[in-house]
Amino acid sequence: MILGSRTLLLGRLRSAKALSRAALCTDQAIVDAVLGVGPETAIDEARRKRDGDFRVLSYEDFAAGKVEVTVDVVVCNFSLLGGESVEGVIRAVPSRLNPNGAFIVQTMHPIVECGDDAYRDGWREGTWAGISCDFSDPAPWFFRTVESWVNLFVTNGFQLRELLEPLHPETGKPASVIFIALLWGHHPHTN
């Protein structure tokens, strides 16, 4: 977890494959920051600059309320990998958002990541396919359908404001799915 003055970033990358695919069609500045600065380095840099509040915190600790802060935006970028642990994080996010705050989740696109497996929620084996042989022991991850993701937001008090599907520039297939959610009854200010 990286905590800035107005934004909460819960982050962990599922695989280098996910990062390289995302780098082709997501904000390059964010990708460069993730590639160039690991969480421990970001914390050390923040402490040195005294700019922001940076902490390392497990998802379970976040869900248990062990961080007492409210922010305008919570961002989970290719980082929600578990089953119950992810549900706990999403349940906790509303208590961390300021009024009119947003919750943004970017994850692997379920249709693309489903592969030949059945399109239903459940644990999947990880893979480093297409990545250097320097990587080993990929972690398993919890697959969710689009319907399951939407239901997870709705049952935890969110309304889906937008669903984006960035396309891979070479294959034309979705590289990810981005959910932008607001708390029910809260709408962004319009000028």
The predicted-structure confidence for 128-174, as pLDDT tens digits, reads as follows 665 556 667 778 889 999 999 999 999 999 999 889 888 888 888 88
The predicted-structure confidence for 76-94, as pLDDT tens digits, reads as follows 888 898 999 999 999 999 9
Of residues 185 and 95, more confidence is placed in 95
Find out whether 174 and 163 touch, Cβ atoms under 8 Å.
Answer: no
Report the helix count and the strand count for the chain, using DSSP H and E.
Answer: 7, 8
Indicate whether 86 belongs to any domain. Answer: yes
Q: How far apart are CA 139 and CA 176, in angstroms?
A: 19
pLDDT > 70: percent of the chain: 64
* Residue 141, domain extent: 2-183
The total of structural domains in the chain comes to 1
Indicate whether 153 belongs to any domain. Answer: yes
Indicate whether 189 belongs to any domain. Answer: no
Nearest to 10 by CA among 70, 79, 71, 65: 79
Which segments of 50-128 does DSSP mark as H helices, in order?
A: 59-63, 84-96, 110-114
Find out whether 160 and 179 touch, Cβ atoms under 8 Å.
Answer: yes
C-alpha separations of 134 from 20, 94, 130, 131, 186 in Å: 15, 39, 11, 8, 46
Which CATH number covers residue 86? 3.40.50.150
Indicate whether 191 belongs to any domain. Answer: no
C-alpha separations of 121 from 83, 142, 159 in Å: 9, 7, 21
Compute the chain's Rg from CA coordinates.
Answer: 17
Indicate whether 190 belongs to any domain. Answer: no
Backbone angles phi, psi at 69, to 5 degrees: -155, 150
